[in-house]
Structure 1
Amino acid sequence: MFETLAEMTGKKAQDILDEWLELVQINLRVLRLIASYREDYQVVLLSNASAPFLRRILERGHLEMYFDQIMISSEEKLAKPDVRIYIRMLERTGMQPEQTIMIDDNPNNIEGAKAAGIYGVLFENAQSFEEEFSNILARCFGRSKDQ
């Protein structure tokens, strides 16, 4: 992706990547949520972002520790919302679809997860998600995070 942009703009791919990285802002509230859920649940990052870009973000922010597994579409040769990537994630992690919650900010990706039998939740912002997560756990698993 960055090579294509480099060809189009005449800039170096690394310079474009560095410029993009400068625009990234990590939502600390979301990180705290992930950390708190990881105490009791397996947390997997499944992303359609460019692998070099995402790997640099994860490395730069020391974010790998927040996830039990990281799956990037370009490395998997499958992308959300293709149902096969969700099935691969389930196989790789040993999770059961009926015990899995997919959180994404793209409704199409939620539909792909649902096609794999996974409960899908549309993420709009950290505050509303935090308020709703206990309800989601109760609906999916009959318990709250605190149980």
Structure 2
Amino acid sequence: MKAVILDMYGVILKDPGEGFYTYVNRTFPNLSSRDIYQHWDKADVGEISSLEVLKRLGFKGDLEKIEKEYLDTVDIDESFYEFATNIKKNYKLALISNDSSEWSRYFRDKYKVNDYFDAITISGDLKIKKPDERIFKYTLEKLGCLASDCTYIDDRRYNLAAAESLGMETILFNSRNVQYEGKTVVNFKELENMLAKL
């Protein structure tokens, strides 16, 4: 193994994916998950900005302030830093995240994680999102690695399946407590121990 590739939400960031839905629903209780994510999905592939998402959902006023209020509800898993420091001693470390360019930049700057990664791939920048295999291939190219050189960690099973189909080793970071047949961890310490055995 030459490289470890991490997902962001539900792995590095604690927000498991329902946080934005809950936040929007406090103001607009009649909006369904589908109503909300049809706009968010467009931001995820760079078709619209994150502020445009809020506008389309019906938010009025200072949209930047409203956006920041939501973003500041999302915390990092502090144990990421120790994990990343240890892993970097032996492996390259990369990030693949389905996110708007703006939100990803905000979180990466706020939590000062950019310098830990040898390659960073954000769906909003690339305009392709997981589980599209092209986003994985693009990252492999940036790392200068083969799929078989890499272990990919995500909290979504369909993203793991896509990485696996390319020949990557995969591990579920089970922050949402789902059933999974493959390798599973629930925190960074477990992940570090598992990687040491691969």
Equivalent residue number for residue 108 of structure 1: 158
Q: Secondary structure at the match of 2:171?
A: strand
Match of 2:67 among 10, 17, 20: 17
Q: Specify the alignment match of 2:53 in structure 1.
A: 4
Displacement of 1:90? 0.8
- Provide the rounded CA distance (Å) in 2 between the counterparts of 1:94 and 1:48: 21
**Secondary structure in 1 matching 2:121:** strand
The percent identity for this pair of structures is: 27
- For the pair 1:49 / 2:108, whether they are aligned, the reply is no
Determine the structure 1 residue equivalent to 2:129: 79
Note if contact 1:100-1:118 (Cα within 8 Å) is conserved in structure 2: yes
Deviating more after overlay: 21-30 vs 130-139: 130-139
One-letter amino acid matched to 1:44: A
* TM-score (normalizing by structure 2): 0.64
Residue 4 of structure 1, CA deviation: 2.3
The DSSP-based 3-state class of the residue aligned with 2:72 is helix
TM-score under structure 1 normalisation?
A: 0.84
* Inter-partner Cα distance in structure 2 for 1:9 and 1:53: 17
CA RMSD of aligned residues (A): 1.9
Distance in 1 between the 2:195 and 2:113 partners? 25
Say if 2:172 is the partner of 1:122: yes
Offset, 1:136: 4.1
Secondary structure of 1:24's aligned partner: coil
Cα deviations by residue, 1:53-77 (Å, 9 ceiling, x for unpaired): 1101111221111211211011111
Distance between the aligned counterparts of 1:63 and 1:131, measured in 2? 20
- 2:103, 2:86 → 1: CA distance? 26
1:134 maps onto 2:193 in alignment: yes
Q: Which runs of 5+ in 1 are unaligned?
A: 140-147
Q: Residues of 2 paired with 1:97 and 1:103: CA distance? A: 13
Which has the larger helix fraction? 1
> Residue 92 of structure 2: SS of its match in structure 1?
coil
Q: Flag as ranges the 4+ runs of structure 1 deviating above 3 A.
A: 125-129, 132-137
